[in-house]
Structure 1
Amino acid sequence: MPRPISDEEIKKATSPVNILDAATEGTAKDQTLVIAAWDIKHNLTLQGHNETFKDQAFLRTAWEHLTKNGHDTLASNMLAHFLGGTGKEIRFSLKQLFAQDQGVVKKFNAIVGAQIYKAEQEGRRKGLTSQRELDDFLKANLKNFDGKMPNPMDLRKDYGPLTFPYSGHVQIEQGDFHNAGWKNATGALTLFWIYAGRTTTSGYRQYRVFAWCLKQYKWHPFENRFTRLVHIAAENAKSPEMDRYSLPPLPSAAKPSAGMIKLGPETIGRWRTQEAPSGSGRLEQQTTFNPAREFKIIFEPGECIVPVYVPQSASGSPLKM
């Protein structure tokens, strides 16, 4: 049975043209290292094993790259959870993400603050002056000032139909993260938020919003990025085939055995040895990997305090409001 992502796509991922194109996300050196790791597992070693076994060996190399000093990380655990195949959702709080990544906070505050500012300015042009009038206007009209939505197919996988109420969204791209651990664990995120009113902290006016995020842990094997081969192997891991490998001659006392395949905290498959069907007296190792499954990452709703947006002049100095 052919793998979900064909050999033709793999050839594209390793072509010189795609190596140069993908360098915008990572360096050409990064791309070369990924291809070298693929070549070692798929072409130079592991002869006699099938493509599933080689894909899994390559993904283990990727997992090792995500660990830190031999210890599990959030990113390595997420990959292991995907390969474990349970599909069980993983929950976080936005407070945790915001506390650990100021790049995400900066992007969120900037987008939300600017959207509220634009809506407020429109309300004032309509003659609204009191705080209550402006708040009512914001709650009713903020969504009209929301920016362009991200890839609709990705968004549907993350959220399904957008039937829930919201005031706006913030797209966190990989380049917005300052914490590589979060970036490698979740990839890009789409945060939704809803306006809850104004507040004052130490004499400064701020905004209260409630934000949340859903993310489907998924791969993009057809996108040209320097880690494309990792995405291809991960997508193919959803449809594994049993690997049968004839072991070298063993002592006559060797007996069939079995065990689990671990990756970090997860069990991703099983192996067993048994007498080869040929009747040669040799043993055959059978390796069965769990079908990998996408899963939902849930950032539960939480309150966020957003500073008032201050527009900048062309020179970079604040404009008078």
Structure 2
Amino acid sequence: MLVNRTRSNMIIGLLFLAPALLFFILFIGEPVVATLYLSFTKYNVLTPSRWTGFANVKHLFSDSRLWLTYGNTLKYIAILTPMHAILGLLIALAVNRNISKGWKYVYRTIFYFPVLATSAAVAVAWQFIFNTDFGILNYFLGKFGIDPIPWMQSPNWVYLAVAIYSFWKFIGNAFLYYLIGLQSIPEALYEAAEIDGASSIQRFFAITVPMLSPTIFFVLVTTLIGAMQIFDEPYLITSGGPGDASRSVNMYIYEVAFQHHDMGYASMLSLSLFLLILCVTIIQFSFSHKWVNYDRE
């Protein structure tokens, strides 16, 4: 009787999981397997795939443009990851201060609304903002005696332009995660520390950082993965230019796949990026136990 009930519960559970499992198999599992297979083929969509062995691997290691785009992606990681992780926390700390609940809703909306806006639409506006000749940003800088800056035409300034757009568009994600984490920290801990004479800086490092460490870790992991996969910002703002100065690995994969129609090599590029992200994520998790605190007792 107990065996039949256990089997019945298992069948019911599988039926509830079936839609999610079917979605995973069709839209995640199958494309992953297909990408792995196509990585070792020559395939242009119009003709059947042809097995080429390790030819795409050899091409990958000799592709100078690929390593250039990996270098560009590394720059995005170095700029965007600390920017979102640190500034998002500072904004959340400022909003979480002793202000009325109504104003907290206002600030939450202000900082998170750009995340909901369509990237392509707002990118058009930002292209006008960054315009060298009649952009509003250079107009206001000119009021301070600063010469017009070629935001999208100079390799020296293009990363700052992408960073400014990325901050405005996506800082709301990190901000919201931090704000939720801060609001879950028991107020009694701060009150006890204040009674003991702890300063605001001491309370921050002794209470806020340890209690918020799981959220900080989550933001670091997701932000780093997002920076390694960056596509929208350089594609919409600079189109990868000037030249290949701001072209990311994801943009290069898109170019190889949908402009050169070399799906086999594009699949190998995707596989290389996936393996790199996997290794970096594993490293992050392997060191997380040394500083991430999940004990809230």
Q: Which TM-score applies when normalising by structure 1?
A: 0.27
In terms of fraction of residues, the more strand-rich structure is 1
Larger Rg: 1
Higher helix share: 2
